[in-house]
Structure 1
Amino acid sequence: MNTNDATRATAETMPDLFALASSMEDDMHKVSDLAFLINDYLTRGDRITLEMQQALCWPASELVEVGRKLRAHSVALYAASKRPATLLNEETRP
């Protein structure tokens, strides 16, 4: 792949990446209140610490769901960044 092909592929992929990233906004505002605890949460999987529950007064099930959504978004963004642009465009066509 030459530089022009790589540039075109990147340009074609960007709208799809931006769409995925903007779908994360709703989840991210919740996580911003837990920034210092997120690393601990993600390394533990779905185990919720009492400290995390008390930090936001959220039920454990809601924190688990936010974590799952964030992991799913991260995986989708990573996968989209590795796929050729033509595949992304074909998948998003109506």
Structure 2
Amino acid sequence: MEHPDADRLAALAARLEAPVRAEQAHIEGCAHCAEEVERFRATITLMTSGDREPLVSPPERVWDRVLAELDMDEVPEPDPGRVGPDSPAGCGR
């Protein structure tokens, strides 16, 4: 079996889906995949615990550099009908 992709490992770590038998066996026998699942679980725990610092917006200069790197003039407005990894939704400037 090939390594599950990162999205699949994240879904398994979040327990959004149950692994199929072959995936479970692969993760149990593959140190890399097992470590990835644990990293995702640790991140989920950090993000869902009440013991973290509040998130803050970065300084304006950071957004300016991001936009320059992406060769954009401004942050696009979110399109509620467009969802996915390339969606600008959640890009809070």
| TM-score normalised by L of structure 1 | 0.33
| TM-score normalised by L of structure 2 | 0.33
Higher share of residues assigned helix: 1
